[in-house]
Amino acid sequence: FDKVNHYFKGALRGKTFAVWGLAFKPNTDDMREAPARTLMEALWAAGAKVQAYDPEAMQECQAIYGLREDLLLCGTKEAALRGADALLICTEWKSFRAPSFDALKDALTTPVIFDGRNLYDPKVIARYGIEYFSIGRMAA
């Protein structure tokens, strides 16, 4: 959350964030201790909205949070991107590993990815004109 907040200079109210990955790890719907929960709750507290997608944990997310004006559960990872101000990756699902970066850039209002799972090569992302923050990766 801190890197996202810093990037947007604390002006998160009214922003919309695509969140890919709600479960705490791939191949489960378990959201206990999931990084996405902490992140979404911080975004909501700051006045932001979330458009989320996860291959398995959508029902679990709805059971936890119910219907909220600031949460849109999307049927596809592409739908979660539409009109979002940034993409936040919280779970390393295989289906997230090779997106169309051109389509991703076109769908986002601000072409920026905050990747908590280090799925992509920063040099590859740069070629698409997308800002990329690889959370926790050591600088080369």
Domains of the chain: 2-134 (3.40.50.720)
Give the Cα separation of 137 and 140 in Å (integer).
9
Name the nearest CA neighbour of 78 among 106, 57, 36, 47.
Answer: 106
Q: Quote the pLDDT of residue 135.
A: 87
Per-residue pLDDT of the chain (140 residues; tens, 9 = 90+): 999 999 999 999 999 999 999 999 999 999 999 999 999 999 999 999 999 999 999 999 999 999 999 999 999 999 999 999 999 999 999 999 999 999 999 999 999 999 999 999 999 999 999 999 998 765 55
Name the pTM for this structure: 0.95
Q: Which residues pair with 86 in a beta bridge?
A: 17
Name the nearest CA neighbour of 89 among 32, 23, 7, 19.
Answer: 19
